[in-house]
Amino acid sequence: MKTSFASGMFGIAAATVLAGCGVKTTTTSVVPSGAMRTATCEAVVKTYDSRAEIPSDYYELAFIQAEANSVYTSDRKIEATIIKRAAEAGATAIIANPVTESKVGVKVLGEALGTGSASSKASALAIYLPADAPRVTQMCGR
């Protein structure tokens, strides 16, 4: 009995760790129904920090929010997930908001207590720049 109990506890612990590794995203379309763009590829999606940096006219496609456990997931993985969702929405760029994290004390205490309060959050606006069409064709094959 002790062996199966220990195995069961290991399985629960492993599932808890793996659950903490994922990035949860929410994508909210801002285009009218039926006006969806064809997906692009992740390689074509550029990141801008503000609207002032964007070199040409653009269309807003979707607002993307991402959240992950900051103990198990890096900011880079969160950003990569946002870029993936933007490409799925047909974007050629995102206007990214900075990643925000729980304070260190909250992270450590939250994970020790198992409350899941050690989180990193980020958001971005997925956009399509018509001037990027040749680059999309070259890099994505579309």
* Domains: count for the chain: 1
pTM above 0.75, yes or no: no
Judge whether residue 5 has pLDDT over 60. no
Residue 124 is assigned to a structural domain of this protein: yes
Residue 10 is assigned to a structural domain of this protein: no
Residue 81 is assigned to a structural domain of this protein: yes
Residue 94 is assigned to a structural domain of this protein: yes
Chain-centroid distance, C-alpha 46: 14
More confident residue, 9 or 26: 26
Residue 63 is assigned to a structural domain of this protein: yes
Please tell me the predicted confidence (pLDDT) of residue 37: 87
More confident residue, 29 or 98: 29
Domain residues for 111? 22-140
Question: pLDDT tens, 74-109?
Answer: 678 888 999 999 999 999 999 999 878 765 555 455
Question: pLDDT tens, 49-58?
Answer: 999 999 999 9
Please tell me the predicted confidence (pLDDT) of residue 100: 80
